[in-house]
Structure 1
């Protein structure tokens, strides 16, 4: 995977999309657009919604729309390359410069399930619609939007049904060699798309400039607001570190229960202790195991846990067609305050399941990954600031009728924040007390006085709360908690109350491959004692 090329692509694409959408909004709200009464009246309601959103917060609105289209394009490119789409939606080749789906549609082959205005589509193809400069381009845009909305039925998080007004802000050019679509195809090579991690890397790179802006403001003594916490704290974890953490938590739990298992052959970073603990949690089947990432980002840790669980289920003789559904239903859980990240984690696990079992989309199974939301409830007030540090205080259920939200997401959120799991593995947010806004600072001082100096240390305590007795908690974070006097009480808690199973002191170069982040790091696995 050429990460430097992907970073250049993602950062430039963000700026290009923002510029294009800003230009399109200005045109839609201009007097010149209103002069064409027939077109304006057709879209009047949608124009008014755009004007309303734009006047409230123009910057956030443009960012949201830009990322919507970027997200869908990179997801469809990945799906095209891995033959998850029935025919290429956006991908082309030197021999065929037009996406295969569009070629087939022009010849009359359109999937029955696609909600497409066929009459208008073929009128555009036949150049029967007046006032349209590029009929093929307009017809392809119709097909593209209909395809995105069709995939919303299968992956509602990644392909959340597009609001009508957002459709008006799709980039004008979608077919030419210089279009946004063509740039996505040329920048995401087939080799890059062999690994679902490419989606997470692209998101990390996409928000990198916003992250830089946040830290510039921090130097000017402006605290990090809840809306900027994701950009400020997200850091993609190198794959070998993920493997170490997952293999020595999830993998270890299985090996302790099944000493003769062949799983060890697949675990390059597994560390076998000279004297293994005799107090491990007993599990009789893989379906019992629960694995949580409470700061899941784009799902890097969860996708590797999926791989390892697949080996476990196969070893136990489960039917291959059932394994992905069992893993997503029973084993894996994740949450994040960042909607975009939780969407990517959902997509990544769905792609893992679909690649393993080609008929997976026929099953009504979705990952247990949620964006943390307050649901207009006092119980979850401030959750966009506190994230998974917040603990629910009641057993009440969520009333779907009042708030119009999915009870499934609410119940998963409640389960995650109030349960204990066999394995809790994460790369927590890093934020020193100087960067915390007042509400977050007051919260951690009150609840976690021994680790309040940085969020990564606070999450050491919180992840242990989320771990079952004798379960495993694994994390990579800054090594300062091992030495500084401000963490002395935290160290005492760890040494006296927990068991350090393994620890890898990594130094300053653990994150070098993603841009040389100068963070002195340590990765470790703790067994939670009763």
Structure 2
């Protein structure tokens, strides 16, 4: 994976997509509908919705959101093309052709099952029977939207139904040699798509300029900036160290003769090891990432769990569904990151079992939402730092934007009681915290309030079962500074350090040089 190439590509795609969406929105909103081309005549309500949204939330916020939607879909479909998950490639051409395979196949009369679009209009466009300034691109846009909608059933977190103002702002050129689609195919090579981790890297690079701009300004971060400024993709070996010495350690204690040890390069065996909590079956074993980002911790945990299930003799066709149903959980403030984490786990499952989509299994990943519930007040500022109080409240189907499943899953996650909690928590000192966040951590996390990462050390232990493991990579300052003395005392008196690696300044060098002085560690929760 050429990360330098992908970084340059993602940054330029963000700029170009935003320019294209902004220009198209300006064009549509600056003309009466009767002055627009005929293709807009059936979209009066969508144009009115777009105009209202721009007025209420601001044009740049709308542009940012829509640009990312198209980026997300383009890279997801390209990954699925390269991984041969799409029966007919949606954005990619076949060898020695330049146009997407889907366009050529439908033009020849071969329409994939489940694709819904106006076929008469499609053929009238390419046959010149409908007036259009660019009939081929207009026709392909219909297919692209149909492909996205066809995947909604199995991947709703990635492919929401496109039947609103979003459709108006699809890029005009998707077929040209220099089109945004062609650039995605060129940048995201087939070899890159051997591992779904590439999607997480692309998101990290995509938000890079927004993150830099937010961090360069003086003062506190607003709510919308918190996800960008606190996300940092974790190097692979650190992920492996954390997962192997938490989830892996519990399994080795549960099955001392397991051959899993042979697969764990970063597993630390030592004479004074803690006595791990044990499970009677792999289906009991649970792992949570409370700041999951695009799911790097979870996807490696998936790999390890797959080996465990295979060793235990489970049918291979059952394993992906069992892992996603019973073992792995994640949440994030950022809708985009949560969607990518769910996508990554689903792709893991689908690549493990070709018929996985027949099982209707969805990952236990949620975007943290307020749900008009006082227990979740200010959750977009506080995230999973909220300690959930028990409640008997019921959520009626259809009351909120999400189903009972997401609400119940959010309760389950914030209620804790996992065998292991593994994360790369957000880093943010008190100077960057807005008033809501600063006041909350002062009250709820007085021993770790100086930085969010320290608050999450405490919170990770809260979420862990007694005897279970909380594993994290953080800044190393909690080990030395006087402002964390009370936290150190609390950790040493109530919990136990199982293993710790002091990494120094260059642990994150592969994503941009010296970032922060870091330490990776695994704590075993005590009985308090």
What range is the shorter-chain TM-score in? Answer: over 0.9
Counterpart of 2:90 in 1: which secondary structure? coil
* Structure 1, unaligned runs of 5 or more: none
Counterpart of 1:430 in 2: which secondary structure? coil
Equivalent residue for 1:119? 120
Equivalent residue for 1:350? 346
Equivalent residue for 2:237? 240
Contact in 2 for aligned 1:498/1:526 (Cα 8 Å): yes
Equivalent residue for 1:176? 176
Equivalent residue for 2:367? 371
Structure 1 CA distance, aligned partners of 2:8 and 2:359? 38
Equivalent residue for 2:134? 134
Q: Does 1:309 align with 2:309?
A: no
Report 1:78-93 matches (<5 A).
Answer: 78-92=79-93
Equivalent residue for 2:476? 479
Judged with a 3 Å threshold, the aligned counterparts in structure 2 of structure 1 residues 275 and 484 are, in CA distance, closer, same or farther, namely closer
Contact in 2 for aligned 1:27/1:33 (Cα 8 Å): no
Judged with a 3 Å threshold, the aligned counterparts in structure 2 of structure 1 residues 318 and 50 are, in CA distance, closer, same or farther, namely same
RMSD, aligned CA: 1.3
Counterpart of 1:281 in 2: which secondary structure? coil
Structure 2 CA distance, aligned partners of 1:517 and 1:323? 40
Equivalent residue for 1:460? 457
Counterpart of 1:104 in 2: which secondary structure? helix
Counterpart of 1:43 in 2: which secondary structure? helix
Structure 1 CA distance, aligned partners of 2:74 and 2:270? 46
Equivalent residue for 1:146? 146
Equivalent residue for 1:190? 190
Judged with a 3 Å threshold, the aligned counterparts in structure 2 of structure 1 residues 260 and 496 are, in CA distance, closer, same or farther, namely same
Report 1:155-166 matches (<5 A).
Answer: 155-166=155-166
Deviations 1:275-328 (A, max 9, x none): 4434x3221110000100000000000000000000000000000000000000
Once structures 1 and 2 are overlaid, which stretch shifts more, 467-476 or 490-499? 490-499
TM-score normalised according to structure 1 size? 0.97
Report 1:179-218 matches (<5 A).
Answer: 179-217=179-217
Counterpart of 1:400 in 2: which secondary structure? coil
Q: Does 1:494 align with 2:495?
A: no
Counterpart of 1:402 in 2: which secondary structure? coil
Structure 2 CA distance, aligned partners of 1:521 and 1:395? 41
Q: Does 1:318 align with 2:323?
A: no
How far is 1:196 from its partner?
0.6
Equivalent residue for 1:292? 288
- Which of 276, 279, 282 in structure 2 is aligned with 1:283? 279
Equivalent residue for 1:334? 330
- Which of 427, 430, 434 in structure 2 is aligned with 1:430? 427
- Which of 406, 409, 431 in structure 2 is aligned with 1:412? 409
Structure 2 CA distance, aligned partners of 1:37 and 1:513? 48
Deviations 1:333-366 (A, max 9, x none): 0000000000000000000000000000111100
Moved segments of 4+, more than 6 Å:
none
Contact in 1 for aligned 2:288/2:418 (Cα 8 Å): yes
How far is 1:419 from its partner?
2.4
Equivalent residue for 1:95? 96
TM-score normalised according to structure 2 size? 0.97
Once structures 1 and 2 are overlaid, which stretch shifts more, 302-311 or 282-291? 282-291
Equivalent residue for 1:63? 64
Equivalent residue for 1:28? 28
Structure 2 CA distance, aligned partners of 1:311 and 1:36? 58
Structure 1 CA distance, aligned partners of 2:35 and 2:337? 41
Counterpart of 2:365 in 1: which secondary structure? strand
Q: Does 1:262 align with 2:259?
A: yes
Structure 2 CA distance, aligned partners of 1:36 and 1:298? 40
Once structures 1 and 2 are overlaid, which stretch shifts more, 453-462 or 517-526? 517-526
Structure 2 CA distance, aligned partners of 1:350 and 1:284? 26
* Structure 2, unaligned runs of 5 or more: none
How far is 1:189 from its partner?
1.1
How far is 1:262 from its partner?
0.4
Judged with a 3 Å threshold, the aligned counterparts in structure 2 of structure 1 residues 128 and 225 are, in CA distance, closer, same or farther, namely same
How many residue pairs were aligned?
525
